[in-house]
Amino acid sequence: MQYEQPLATLGVAVRRLEWVPQTTHDVARLTTRLLRDARGSDVVVLLKPRLHPAILEMLRRVNPRLVVDIDDAVWTWNPVFGERFDRSARVARAISTGSQYLADATARRHPDTIVERIPTAVDTERYPVRDASPASRPPVVGWIGNTASLGDFSDEIVGALAKLSTDGAARLRVVSSRSLDRPELTSEFEPWSLATEVESLRRFDVGIMPLDDDEQARGRCGLKAIQCMAVGVPVVASPVGAATEIITDGVDGFFASTEREWYDTLSDLVASDERRSAIGVRARRRVEDEYSVTANVGRLHALLRRVADGT
């Protein structure tokens, strides 16, 4: 959705169809519109494809110039998602992925299909850099994400955060649709909304992105880190998947795995306004250069043109 206006400036008209059927009538209505729109389009992009095989086949016959786009290892979700992704990928002209890890994994699954990495990105105009004023006391260590991702709070990160909280060195703020249920860790809860998420991020002093080291986590594309870095907030993350592409350890962010590493790294950051500010400046620059819509719209446009032209 972020690319609609930038693509329009390059002469690309975008029609968007949100595939969220609730009834069989919805399926029929959406299928009719899908086929109508596809017939009049140069390219059809399927985001995290989950179309029923019969509908996918009708779509392919109407317009075979298909691009599949993923920012998750959708084949790890359940067998149905995996089968529908693979079926879509086999008939696609190209697959775009949000990280190099996903590009490599997808290319192994579908070696005969063109796979291109177009990194997960944010519109930096929508993400102004946070104020350079001193941190609140104690500083806020912030996490933002959906409720399913609350499971990312491993014992290692919880132990480190609990110690920081007990020491009075920092406080944890969780921005989500519900609070964090870890009784051993005190945390503040802030309800997430699209309208307020950027301001929520700008009130963080340090951002965190803990992850398990499994295939599903390795396939995630690091949006939490990118969002924090875009507003100039330094991030400490697990060295898993896309995080290792986004962050240069010690330059524009940090990695931590063990409880001691989490505690030591976060302690150093919350103790120094100057250190956080310096890392935050470099983090914002990293997003502008590699993980912004501006930096990537040309790549997306070129891919769509090649598919449309059959090249």
Report whether pLDDT(291) > 70. yes
**Edge-to-edge strand ranges of the sheet holding 94-97:** 44-47, 66-70, 94-97, 114-117
pLDDT in tens, 215-273: 999 999 999 999 999 999 999 999 999 999 999 999 999 999 999 999 999 999 999 99
Domain ranges of the chain: 4-121+293-309, 125-290
pLDDT of residue 88: 97
Label residue 136 by pLDDT band (50, 70, 90). low
Measured between alpha carbons, how far is residue 116 from residues 68, 76, 216 in Å? 10, 20, 20
CB atoms under 10 Å from CB of 155, counted, come to 10
Q: Which amino acid is at 250?
A: G
pLDDT of residue 133: 63
Report whether pLDDT(63) > 80. yes
| Residues pairing with 188 in the sheet | 173
Label residue 1 by pLDDT band (50, 70, 90). confident
Distance (Å, whole) CA 83 – CA 3: 28
pLDDT in tens, 100-130: 999 999 999 999 999 999 999 999 999 999 9
Q: Would you give the DSSP letter of residue 58? A: H
H or E, element range at 227: helix 223-230
Report whether pLDDT(135) > 70. no
Instruction: Report the DSSP pairing between strands 140-144 and 171-176.
Output: parallel
Contact between 265 and 254 under an 8 Å Cβ cutoff? The reply is: yes
Contact between 93 and 307 under an 8 Å Cβ cutoff? The reply is: yes
Q: Among all chains, which residue has been given the structure tokens 């317009």? A: 63
Is domain 125-290 in CATH 3.40.50.2000, yes or no?
yes
pLDDT in tens, 178-225: 999 999 999 999 999 999 999 999 999 999 999 999 999 999 999 999
Report whether pLDDT(137) > 90. no
**pTM of the predicted model, to two decimals?**
0.93
